[in-house]
Amino acid sequence: MSARATSSARRGSGRAFRSDRGQVAVDLLGMAPVIIVTLVLLWQCVLLGYTYTLAGNAADEAVRAGTAATGDRQDACERAGRKNLPSAWRDGATIGCSLDRTGFVTADVGLEVPVLFPGTIGFPVTLHGRAGAVGEVTD
């Protein structure tokens, strides 16, 4: 078979010998939305976990301060719960402290989960952290 026949056979077969150049770029463009959505969902899960951790830690700090306070335990409890929260979570935080007759101090901290960027908007879901401890009774 001559060189001319070989080259015309390649051209004549059409689709069988087309190049796949650029296919990786097309595949990447097709997968880019899936990759971006996956990364956004993973980041949102990180924010959810971090908010849950902050709520629990703030409740622990609040109870610790409420049990150790000698004056107004409820005020000390609420201030301590808000003290270590980052500013993005501090504004929407609800901190409730209570003290019963036996000296049991409880704290409930509610934090809004931010949407993608802390400090902007939050989900209408509030995560709660709860803690309790018996305070020192002084006579």
What pLDDT, on the 0 to 100 scale, is given for residue 109?
92
Q: Which domain holds residue 27?
A: 17-134
> How many domains are there within the chain?
1
- Contacts of residue 89, Cβ cutoff 8 Å, sequence gap at least 6: 51, 54, 111, 112, 114, 118
Is 46 a domain residue? yes
The predicted model scores a pTM of: 0.72
Is 1 a domain residue? no
For residue range 22-67, list pLDDT tens digits in order. Answer: 777 878 788 889 999 999 999 999 999 999 999 999 999 998 888 8
For residue range 94-129, list pLDDT tens digits in order. Answer: 898 888 877 788 899 999 888 888 877 777 788 899
Is 50 a domain residue? yes
